[in-house]
Structure 1
Amino acid sequence: MFWFLLIAMVVVVAAVTLAVVGGGDGAVLPETGPEGLSDPLPEGRPVERADIDALRLPVAARGYRMADVDDVLSRLAAELAERDARITDLQQALSAAHAPRDEEPRQ
């Protein structure tokens, strides 16, 4: 029984090796480029909630691809900073509009 399992294991390993290498005709597995971000964030408009919900980052051998994650986080950080600045400007404008105005006395 031991010899049968040993021979079966050698046959399976040889078959898998031949399938990966190409069966002896010299062809190897085709080279493929790294998987990129398939649905990047829109460039021409601000990022919306639906864009984040639809975003799918490509998976690498040890998790997500760092370059794609860094790009997405950088873009989101820039969008948030821009929105925070806009909110601050609007709040200041609203405060200025509601502030009591000192009227000059009429002469």
Structure 2
Amino acid sequence: MFLFLLVAMVVVVTAVTLAVVGGGDREVLPEAAPEQLVDPLPATRPVGRADIEALRLPVAPRGYRMADVDEVLARLGAELAERDSRIAELESTLAGAQATAVARPDLFKNPGAEDQR
């Protein structure tokens, strides 16, 4: 009786394995095409908050596809670096304008106002 149960168990395990893996010419579980990034970030304009909120990364069997995540993070990093550079440039321009205004207190006075007195 024990030998019969052991043989039956081996047959059942083998049948299930072949059904899942695909035995013979036809596959029971065909290969599925991997998901692709559905909502790519816009290439013609800067990324906005709405773009990030609408972004949906495709899911792979073990989480997210690393290539898609790396692509999105690289794009966001480049845009943030560009914005930081622009902010620094504008701040230095503003600091220069403020320094000029402090050095010349008559900068905002009307030159013709003193002549009229």
Instruction: Provide TM-score, normalisation by structure 2.
Output: 0.63
Q: Which amino acid aligns with 1:82?
A: E
User: 2:42 is matched with which residue?
Assistant: 42
Give ranges in structure 2 of 5+ residues lacking alignment: 1-7, 107-117
Question: Could you say which structure has the larger radius of gyration?
Answer: 2
AA aligned to 1:71 is E
Match of residue 61 from structure 1: 61
2:82 and 2:88 map into 1 onto residues whose CA distance is 10
Identity %: 61
Residue aligning to 1:89:
89
Structure 1 unmatched runs, 5+:
1-6
Residue equivalent to 1:4? none
Q: CA deviation at 1:75?
A: 0.3
Q: Which residue of 2 aligns with 1:3?
A: none
User: Partner of 2:86: helix, strand, or coil?
Assistant: helix
Cα deviation, 1:2-46, whole Å, max 9, x if unaligned, reads xxxxx9xx99xx69x76995xx9x553554321111001000100
**C-alpha displacement of 1:82:** 0.2
Letter in 1 for 2:75: R
